[in-house]
Structure 1
Amino acid sequence: MIEAKNPVPAVAPHAILQHIQRFTTRYGDKLLTKTATIAAFPAPAAAACHAGPEHPWRVLPLMVTRAAEPAAFVTDPRVPYTTADNLAHLLTTPGDPAPGWVPRQD
């Protein structure tokens, strides 16, 4: 489950704090709720995407932004974060991304 955001980059300390609060609460909660809903019904969700039943589906949260988001670097991030330009690489890398910043691993 991907939540894509295109926030204006934050520079001032107050703006950075607002970004972190928005991403760790409102956006993060929304993403985790969506993920739990789809995870409860993975087969129908896969069928809605015209995916065959030959592979079991796992539903994982992922926050995607244009640039590195400060909320990815908090002490206890609840979801993985990556950038749009790293998305294809992340989706084709074996294993599940851990919560927090997921850098490109070439």
Structure 2
Amino acid sequence: MSAYTARGCIAFSGIGEEWRTEPYGWVALEQDGRRTVLWQQDDLGEENPAVGVLAFEVDFDGDPDAELSVLGEVDEFDYDYPGAALAEPGRRVPIRPGGTVRIDGRDGHVEVTLVLVPR
């Protein structure tokens, strides 16, 4: 296991609101049952910040050559579609460093781009 900085971006897309949503929940990187949270937002109702794409940078201890997955549970605050699911729990998507993946939800999707940089 080695020490890395996981950098990248997360893009949120909901029904009728591509790349500008009010998401809440979490997105994580997983390897061998260990999760590293890349983004997390509590549900603040109409106070949820509107975002399209956001950057992340977190410490990651792992093996870049071993299997990595992205997963999450992301909903969106929306008056028209209450409880809109952008990324549904249980959907693990394999990712390679330098790649981009999409986690689908019932009402939209989340895209994650990942780069690992040695610390």
With structure 1 as the length reference, what TM-score do the two structures score? Answer: 0.30
Q: By percentage of residues, which structure has more strand? A: 2
Going by fraction, where is helix more abundant, 1 or 2?
1
